Amino acid sequence: MTSTYDVAVIGAGFAGVTAARDLTLAGHSVVHLEARDRIGGRTFVGEAFGRQVEFGGTYAHWSQAHVWHELKRYDIGLVRRLTIEQCNWLADGTVHTGTPAEYHAVSKSLATRCLADAREWFPMPGDIHAADTTVIEKETLADRLDAMDLSPAERDVLCDVMGSLVAAPAEQGMAQFLFWTSLNGGSWETFMECAGGFPIDGGTKRLLDAINGESTAELRLSTPVTAVDDDGSAVTVTTADGQRVRARQVVLAVPLNTLADVAVTPPPPAADMIEQKHPMRTMKIWARVKGEVTPFSANAPVGKHPLNSARTEYRYEGDTLVVCFCGDATAIDPTDRGAVERALRFFVPDLEVLDVACHDWVSDPYSQGTWVHHRPGYLTQAAPLLRRPHNRIHFAGGDLAALGVGGIDGAIETGARAARDVVQALRMDA
CATH of the domain at 216: 3.50.50.60
Please indicate if the annotation marks 34 as binding a ligand. yes
**Are 260 and 226 within 8 A, CB to CB?**
no
Question: Do 169 and 34 belong together in one domain?
Answer: no
Please indicate if the annotation marks 191 as binding a ligand. no
Please indicate if the annotation marks 422 as binding a ligand. no
Query: What is the structure's pLDDT at 2?
Result: 63
CA distance 4 to 295: 55
CA distance 52 to 340: 20
In a structure prediction context, what are the per-residue pLDDT tens digits for the chain, which is 430 residues long? 467 999 999 999 999 999 999 999 999 999 999 999 999 999 999 999 999 999 999 999 999 999 999 999 999 999 999 999 999 999 999 999 999 999 999 999 999 999 999 999 999 999 988 889 999 999 999 999 999 999 999 999 999 999 889 999 999 999 999 999 999 999 999 999 999 989 999 999 999 999 999 999 999 999 999 999 999 999 999 999 999 999 999 999 999 999 999 999 999 999 999 999 999 999 999 999 999 999 999 999 999 999 999 999 999 999 999 999 999 999 999 999 999 999 999 999 999 999 999 999 999 999 999 999 999 999 999 999 999 999 999 999 999 999 999 999 999 999 999 999 999 999 998 7
Gap between the terminal Cα atoms of the chain: 25
Structural domain range at position 23:
5-42+203-277+368-429
In a domain, 289, yes or no: no
**Are 67 and 403 within 8 A, CB to CB?**
no
CA distances for 95 relative to 156, 163, 165, 289, angstroms? 11, 15, 20, 20
Question: Do 154 and 214 belong together in one domain?
Answer: no
Strands (E), 35-75: 45-48, 51-54, 59-60
In a domain, 389, yes or no: yes
Sequence-separated (6 or more) residues with CB below 8 Å from residue 420: 22
SS3 content of the chain, % helix, strand, coil (to 5): 35, 25, 40
**Are 41 and 258 within 8 A, CB to CB?**
no
**Are 343 and 307 within 8 A, CB to CB?**
yes
Query: What is the structure's pLDDT at 167?
Result: 93
In a domain, 191, yes or no: no
- Number of structural domains found in the chain: 2
Question: Do 372 and 252 belong together in one domain?
Answer: yes
Question: Do 108 and 170 belong together in one domain?
Answer: yes
Domain boundary among 116, 149, 181: 181
Question: Do 172 and 222 belong together in one domain?
Answer: no
Domain boundary among 181, 212, 233: 181
In a domain, 60, yes or no: no
Question: Do 208 and 153 belong together in one domain?
Answer: no
Sequence-separated (6 or more) residues with CB below 8 Å from residue 137: 173, 175, 376, 377, 378, 379, 380, 381
Give the β-pairing of 393-395 and 244-252: parallel
CA distance 408 to 214: 19
Question: Do 374 and 244 belong together in one domain?
Answer: yes
Please indicate if the annotation marks 325 as binding a ligand. yes
**Are 409 and 9 within 8 A, CB to CB?**
no
Domain boundary among 147, 181, 215: 181
Question: Do 208 and 273 belong together in one domain?
Answer: yes
